Amino acid sequence: MRRLDHALDSGIGDPAQGPARRAEHTALIEDWLREQWEAAVPPTRGVALAAVGSVGRRDAGPASDLDLVLLLDREQVEPEEASRLASALWYPVWDSGTSLDHSVRTPAECEQVAAEDLRAALSLLDLRLVAGEERLASDTSARVRRAWRSGARTRIDELEELVEDRTGRYGILAHSTEPNLKSDRGGLRDVTLVRAIAESWLADHDHVVVDRAADVLLEARDALQLVTGRSGTRLGRADQDAVAGLCGYGEADDLLAALADASRAIAWQLRRSLTAARSGVAPGGHATYGSGASRRPALARLDHGVIVQAGEISVDPTHTGALRDIAALRHAATTGLPLSAATLARLAGGWCPRFTPEQRDVLVDALSGEHLAELYEALDVHGVVARVVPGWEGIRNRPQRSPVHRYTVDRHQIETVLEAQKLLGSVDRPDLLLVTALLHDIGKTPGAEDHSRTGAPLAREAARALGFDEADAEVTAALVREHLTLVDLATGRDHADPATVEALLTAVDHDPSRLDLLRALTEADARAAGPAAWTTWRAELVDHLAGLARDALTGVTRPPRELLAPQRSAQLTVLDAVRDSGGCAVLYPAPSESAPITEICMGAPDGPGVFAAFARVLTRLRFQVRSAVITTVDGVAVDTWWVTGRAGDLPHPTTVRTAMERELARRDDPAARVLETEPAAPLRRSEDTPVVTLMPTEPGRPTALQINARNRSSLLADIAETLTGHRLLVSSAHVMTLGRRAVDVLYLTDIRGRPLDEATAARVVTAVADAAAGS
């Protein structure tokens, strides 16, 4: 097919011009198809060429595929002639490099296919004549619509299954950082489905909202196809900046936010259409007449003017109580029943500027409802939440580039509330836990360098607007400011260091109640982000550090690292073995053939280069280190490592001990210390740049150095070798691997066991950063 992109080269970025531009482009495609039709010399009667898909809808993009149907009157066209004509039409399309979906059918066969195959029916509803006899196209369209309308009442379950199946196979467009504009939930296929439900006459939709949202997605699709030259609709990261520029957005995140907004509107309209269609076909769903009487759906009146009728929640307009509207939200969140269109329209018109304490209490009840997410989506597409919660507009639909996160910033807050619901029994102020979960990332606005500190004053203002007093608003702000502190300390600092516990106590203002709230918020936030953010390992670390802080507040003393589980008996066994032999010792405490993580205890007389030698052993034997606790006891290095793999699949302890002895014997030979590893991948993004930080410690204690870097097999060995080159000792360490990141804290002294002076510490920070970067 000849290139027709010129019809779309100008005007992209203005959705108002989009329909006309796409119609012009579709007309050019149809003109080219008519040329092929005329060249095929078809019979004068009994045949027609029709288009479905994007050409049928007149919204074809620059590289859209073609979906064509050759319609026949078999009484007028012989099979051989039909086959010849089909080949004459399809081959020029294939030769042009355009993807083609094609079929040859009579109007009656199209009707039968539409009655039997849901996806085919949805496609054939868009059928439109390109060339040939108009009566064939009209007859086909009439038959397909008749079949669709007569069977739609029994197909609602199938429609819902289709939506859920596509969501499972693709995803949700609003929350994807690489959305499929066509197939994701809330994408262009859902637009087709919304319009098909309206064609069934079972339920209508807001045509203005759907058309505007569809235009936003189509503009992005057109720009994507111009950028890539392909018909794909997956908006990958590599193309987002170019597509954003073509569509008139300042940056890729602005484009994703606009797409999320449009897709949410589409997904909401689809849900409303399906709900209305199901209600319409249910017994009593429509007013029915018999014996001269009208039977209306039952009406239930609830407290505060809330009404439930026909499976929807509305309110009594004559009820003027202050709790009416918020009580309707509470009932929706707790029961899952949808708010009526009239109620949503009224809520969108305005709300009180500040909640009363009574309204606040009902709001907290709503936040504890299991159907909060469905309620939020309904309120969000009507702009209600952004008007009620100060600062919400700044995070609405904002994408999260972290691979850990599954949702946009605003929806992540809702998911955090849902996770917090499971932890209400662990705190003495469940209302503050819920509202803080709702507001904890409100500072994740464009350009915010530290969203926790940016969000604290915003959270205070929002809490006051939602009816909390100044003292509670201050607690909410403090929790938002420190909501990452516990997990950062637990996974990145040595729990045996008093400064670690003191940093946590300072974050919670030495308040046991606030400590419990922070512990619950930490778990809820991580679980809401995704499965990679809250593992059993991370939970143990968080619980252990929180327990140490709680004990410090109550005066209880417990042995350090009680939950980090270096087995005491194993450490003592290794310590005794090293003392007796003067050499190395290795032990797999209580090895399990089935456990996916294995503990290894390694010991040797301490000294310069011992830690580096241990790290090289692990690298050379291809251990994947998950975590480690490094200690020195009476001049003996006793290190506990947790590595990925079952004990039976790992090298035998004798093999490890032999490797340790070999490494220690040649630790002063620079050539022997060179690791044969693959070169590190180049740093491609700012988040890949290592961050090396000096952490606060008590006077006289070893210097604490935190390294947060992209993980690789030789990372720890490279860092350890750098420390050896500076003649430093590692007195203890806390090593953790979290997905693609390594977060390690090393406690360093000079050769005499003294903390590092300021100049030495500065040199070490630079050298370790270079080593972590692979320089």
The 10s digit of each residue's pLDDT in 56-99 is 999 998 988 999 999 999 888 888 888 999 999 999 999 888 88
- Give the separation between CA 773 and CA 775, rounded to whole angstroms: 6
Report pLDDT for 19.
87
Query: Could you tell me the pLDDT band of residue 15, with boundaries at 50, 70 and 90?
Result: low
What integer is the mean pLDDT of 707-711? 83
Report pLDDT for 432.
95
Per-residue pLDDT tens over the stretch 608-661: 889 999 999 998 898 888 778 888 888 899 988 888 777 778 899 999 999 999
- Give the separation between CA 616 and CA 450, rounded to whole angstroms: 36
What integer is the mean pLDDT of 8-21? 70
Per-residue pLDDT tens over the stretch 40-50: 877 668 999 99
- Give the separation between CA 66 and CA 59, rounded to whole angstroms: 12
Strands 585-587 and 312-315: unpaired
Report pLDDT for 589.
82
Report pLDDT for 41.
72
Q: Which residue has the higher pLDDT, 716 or 439?
A: 439
Q: Any idea of the CA torsion for 380, 386, 388, 391, to the nearest 10 degrees?
A: 140
- Give the separation between CA 738 and CA 770, rounded to whole angstroms: 21
What integer is the mean pLDDT of 284-296? 43
- Give the separation between CA 295 and CA 398, rounded to whole angstroms: 47
Q: Which two tokens stand for residue 524?
A: 């809820």
Half-sphere exposure of 529 (CA within 13 A, CB side): 19
Contact in structure between 593 and 646 (CB atoms under 8 Å): yes
Q: Which architecture, in CATH terms, is 5-152?
A: 2-Layer Sandwich (3.30)
Report pLDDT for 754.
92
* Other beta carbons within 10 Å of 567: 14
Report pLDDT for 289.
31
Per-residue pLDDT tens over the stretch 305-352: 999 988 889 999 888 888 899 999 999 999 999 998 889 988 888 776
- Give the separation between CA 89 and CA 131, rounded to whole angstroms: 12
* Alpha carbon distances (Å) from 708 to 65, 687, 722: 47, 10, 16
Q: Which residue has the higher pLDDT, 372 or 153?
A: 372
pTM above the 0.85 mark? no
Q: Which two tokens stand for residue 387?
A: 């008007």
Its CATH class, for the domain covering 156-281, is mainly alpha
Helices marked H in 482-535? 485-492, 498-507, 512-529
Residue type, 493: R
- Give the separation between CA 519 and CA 486, rounded to whole angstroms: 7
User: Residue 3 above 70 pLDDT?
Assistant: no
Report pLDDT for 287.
36
Out of 1.10.3210, 3.30.2450, 3.30.70, 1.10.150, the CATH code matching 400-554 is 1.10.3210
Helix (H) or strand (E) holding 537: helix 536-554
Report pLDDT for 6.
41
Domain ranges of the chain: 5-152, 156-281, 400-554, 571-773
Helix (H, G, I), strand (E, B) or coil at 79: helix
- Give the separation between CA 395 and CA 409, rounded to whole angstroms: 6
Strands 100-105 and 66-72: parallel
Per-residue pLDDT tens over the stretch 553-594: 887 655 444 434 456 788 889 999 999 999 999 998 876 655
Per-residue pLDDT tens over the stretch 222-255: 999 999 988 889 999 899 999 999 999 989 999 9
* Alpha carbon distances (Å) from 440 to 427, 451, 459, 526, 545: 17, 9, 7, 12, 21
- Give the separation between CA 559 and CA 735, rounded to whole angstroms: 20
| Alpha carbon of residue 42 to chain centroid | 53
Residue type, 322: A
Contact in structure between 718 and 613 (CB atoms under 8 Å): no
Listed residue (273, 267, 474) closest to 374, CA to CA:
267
Listed residue (746, 753, 740, 678) closest to 710, CA to CA:
740
User: Residue 665 above 80 pLDDT?
Assistant: yes
